[in-house]
Amino acid sequence: MSDLHPVTDIHPDIDRILISQEEINARIAELGAQISADYQGEELLLVCILKGAFVFMADLARAITVPVQTGFIAVSSYGHSTQSSGVVRIMKDLDQSVEGQNVLIVEDIVDTGLTLAYIASLLHDRHPKSLKICALTNKPQCRKKEVTIDYCGFVLPNEFVVGYGLDYQDYYRNLPYIGVLKPSRYAQSHG
């Protein structure tokens, strides 16, 4: 994976593109095929962690061939900061029961692991048939709480990334690639 991609329409707040739209699409197709094979003959409940994972889950759901239902859970641990506070609050809980279901948590990024560990524990206590995690991106070097990622799209360096659902202050989610946000963009709002 190259650090730089020739792109003519790069957003002015992006320092460089880490993962191109084409790389994301190819990896999601691979993840969808793997998940479909692993759940052959079964049904699957995809649990999207809002807001960041909605773009990834939409594409992932279309890449999975077994019967799929979707659920959404919204949590907050960042607010408008660039670092997790470590305090997880449920802003919107699932509308359906997970009891007896194959549950796949869909997350955009795993860094500290605090939010994901909390959600996994919460859903585990609701007695699903199985519980696994699919993350588009992973920053293992940032981990404060260990979590098992069963399906991982990309491992990232410890840089502030946005795009393809990932945000800064709720902006940049609509970028079709994952890029490094220029430090000047988030430094200016703290000083």
- Report the CATH number that the domain containing residue 70 is assigned in CATH: 3.40.50.2020
183 within a domain of the structure (yes/no): no
For residues 27-33, average pLDDT: 98
C-alpha 141/C-alpha 121 separation (Å) is 22
109 within a domain of the structure (yes/no): yes
- Reply yes or no on whether the pLDDT at 171 is more than 70: yes
| Element spanning 32, H or E | helix 21-38
- Tell me which residues are annotated as active site: 111
C-alpha 37/C-alpha 54 separation (Å) is 23
Reported pTM: 0.88
Residues of the domain holding 106: 21-158
pLDDT band at 9 (very low <50, low <70, confident <90, very high): confident
- Of all residues in the chain, the percent with pLDDT exceeding 90 is 80
Higher pLDDT, 187 or 91: 91
Token pair, residue 117, equals 């560990």
**So what's the pLDDT on residue 13?**
94
What's the number of domains the chain is made of? 1
- Reply yes or no on whether the pLDDT at 33 is more than 80: yes
pLDDT band at 188 (very low <50, low <70, confident <90, very high): low
C-alpha 16/C-alpha 131 separation (Å) is 35
| Element spanning 56, H or E | helix 54-63
- Reply yes or no on whether the pLDDT at 40 is more than 80: yes
The 10s digit of each residue's pLDDT in 57-77 is 999 999 999 999 999 999 877
163 within a domain of the structure (yes/no): no
Mean of per-residue pLDDT scores for the chain: 90
111 within a domain of the structure (yes/no): yes
**So what's the pLDDT on residue 84?**
56
Q: Please state whether beta strands 178-181 and 14-19 pair in parallel, antiparallel, or not at all (unpaired).
A: antiparallel
